[in-house]
Amino acid sequence: MNTYAYARVSAKDQNLERQLVAFIEFGIEKSRIFSDKKSGKDFERKEYKRLLKKLKNGDLLVIKSIDRLGRNYDQIIAEWAYITNTIGADIFVLDMPLLDTRTKAETLVGKFISDVVLQVLSFVAENERENIKARQAEGIRAAICNGVKFGRRPTEYTDEFLSVACDYIEKRINSETAMNLLGLKKNNFYYHIYRIKQLKEL
């Protein structure tokens, strides 16, 4: 049995470091860690496809959180089923230990809990992203209706960027952690936080 890991961020300027450190601490060899800097809207990702070719029956795939696999509820469920049922590999999610398909070898209850938690978390993750996108769009529309003129095309923030920014704004993480996750320097970070706050208040 081999253990592999998959990391993903949505943009080239975002940082994979937190995910990579977690995998190394878990004991995964660097040569078996695959990563993409690409949107999670689908599974057309170079390194992810390479990973799937490596995965064999009995192997273990480790991911940091369920949204690193993808961001679409139906796609996550389908991909999870493909890996665990068709390939026959197991999946373990570091941020949610209940999502560990290795429990299926022990009890049916463990497998049932893993499947239920996966479906709930996948739905919640997608729903939250849709809410964030809706709030962002409403803010921009309101700004335009109120006569706000943008000097340049408004920045289109990724779902992951907005998620981290909101965590910082709502004091769930500190500025240092947020800057590391977003791969931004101090001045640039606070500029974007200011813009997002303005949009949220409109």
- In this predicted model, what pLDDT tens digit does every residue of 139-169 receive, in sequence order? 655 655 555 554 455 567 787 888 888 888 8
Buried b (16+ CB within 10 A) or exposed e, 43-64: bebebbeebbeebeeebbbbbb
Q: Is the pLDDT assigned to residue 62 strictly greater than 50? A: yes
3-state SS, residue 141? helix
Give the rounded percent of residues in the chain with a pLDDT score beyond 90. Answer: 26
- φ/ψ (deg, to 5) at 155: -65, 130
pTM: 0.57
Q: What is the amino acid identity at position 153?
A: R
CA angle (56 as vertex; 94, 33 as ends), nearest 5: 45
- Sheet of 90-93: strand order equals 33-37, 3-9, 60-63, 90-93
Residues 6+ apart with CB under 8 A from 72: 40, 41, 42, 126
Which of the two residues, 139 and 196, has the higher pLDDT score?
196
- In this predicted model, what pLDDT tens digit does every residue of 73-91 receive, in sequence order? 777 878 888 898 899 999 9
Q: Is the pLDDT assigned to residue 32 strictly greater than 90? A: yes
Which amino acids are annotated catalytic?
A: 10
Q: How confident is the model at residue 202 (pLDDT cuts 50, 70, 90)?
A: very low
Question: Could you tell me if 89 and 61 are in contact, meaning their C-beta atoms sit under 8 angstroms apart?
Answer: yes
